[in-house]
A and B are shown apart, each in its own frame.
Chain A
């Protein structure tokens, strides 16, 4: 079965205070960068098997739903590619 790599991005929902982002933002500003804001999220790279690209996308989204907490997070399927 072909192998795929999905890149899932998990971020805090808009409006939820992100103290990690605030801390990073503060440091960047202190260093003189003209930063507006910083949000910290997580990137998950999942390598898995699927029949085809369509099924791979479906599976990747299912895993994203499982791994993100809908109470406070949103996930995006950033990239999906077939591996050699």
Chain B
């Protein structure tokens, strides 16, 4: 299974993504945002960073890149698509996932480890986790407050589209790092093939990086093909 790691001007987690995918045994190649074809690829990974310097809004300009039409096609065809951090912002700006990511309530760029509870384990991304398991994953963003109108939120909850939710790591009360509605840290689409999340699983795939809680996400993708 070959993954396309989409590079925008300002992507900076592209190499982390490649490290994580390859550590899990998957092939990965970088694809520049002006490309108009993802032929030969099976999945698309939109990495974190500051595409276009986050001008206008985080992810807004990248969402209009030529390659995003192909990412949209992947999403419709049921191929796996992952957007992490800036990648999640790009997916919502492109309308591939619902909602939007607003400025953190504290207005700070927040870089720390947070607790992330796994809400669904029937997806390729989460099949190797336990339901309710709380992962320790890093976050690093200034605009991660998930927002959607009341109707969309009700639909997300009703259809079980919330995949990850912020949760206390050490029993703390203020565990939600950005003010996301319903503590939402990651969501999927109806088909369950597109994942958008603010925490960085690709930065937690080796003890050297400070933890391995992100690794099963990538190993789960491998099973998608071989299993």
A-side residues, CB < 8 A to B, are: 12, 16-17, 19-20, 23, 42, 66-67, 69, 71-72
A72 to chain B, nearest CB (A): 5
Chain A residues with CB below 8 A from B120, complex form = none
Chain A residues with CB below 8 A from B147, complex form = 16, 71-72
A20 touching B92, Cβ below 8 Å: no
Distance, CA A67 to CA B179, complexed state (A): 25
B103 touching A19, Cβ below 8 Å: yes
B-side residues, CB < 8 A to A, are: 56-57, 60, 64, 92-93, 98-100, 102-107, 147-149, 179
A69 touching B99, Cβ below 8 Å: no
A71 touching B100, Cβ below 8 Å: yes
Distance, CA A43 to CA B54, complexed state (A): 16
Distance, CA A71 to CA B107, complexed state (A): 20
> Known: A19-B103, A23-B107. Is A71-B56 also a contact (CB below 8 A)?
no
Partner of B99, one of A12, A19, A71: A71
B103 touching A69, Cβ below 8 Å: no
Chain B residues with CB below 8 A from A23, complex form = 107
A20 touching B107, Cβ below 8 Å: yes
Chain A residues with CB below 8 A from B104, complex form = 19
Chain A residues with CB below 8 A from B148, complex form = 71
User: 12 interchain pairs (CB within 8 A)?
Assistant: A17-B105, A19-B103, A19-B106, A19-B107, A69-B93, A69-B100, A71-B92, A71-B99, A71-B100, A71-B148, A71-B149, A72-B100
For the complex of A and B, the 9 pairs showing the least CB-CB separation, nearest first, are: A71-B100, A72-B100, A19-B107, A19-B105, A69-B100, A19-B103, A72-B147, A23-B107, A69-B57
B105 touching A69, Cβ below 8 Å: no
Chain A residues with CB below 8 A from B103, complex form = 19-20
Distance, CA A23 to CA B106, complexed state (A): 10
B107 touching A16, Cβ below 8 Å: no
A21 to chain B, nearest CB (A): 10
B90 to chain A, nearest CB (A): 12
Q: Apart from A16-B102, A17-B105, list 20 A-B contacts with CB within 8 A.
A: A12-B102, A16-B147, A17-B179, A19-B104, A19-B105, A19-B106, A19-B107, A20-B103, A23-B107, A66-B64, A67-B56, A67-B60, A69-B57, A69-B100, A71-B92, A71-B98, A71-B99, A71-B100, A71-B148, A72-B147
Nearest opposing residue in chain B for A44, CB measure: B56
A72 touching B102, Cβ below 8 Å: yes
Chain A residues with CB below 8 A from B107, complex form = 19-20, 23
Nearest opposing residue in chain A for B105, CB measure: A19
B108 to chain A, nearest CB (A): 10
Q: Which of A12, A20, A23, A72 has the most CB of B within 10 A?
A: A72
Chain B residues with CB below 8 A from A69, complex form = 57, 60, 93, 100
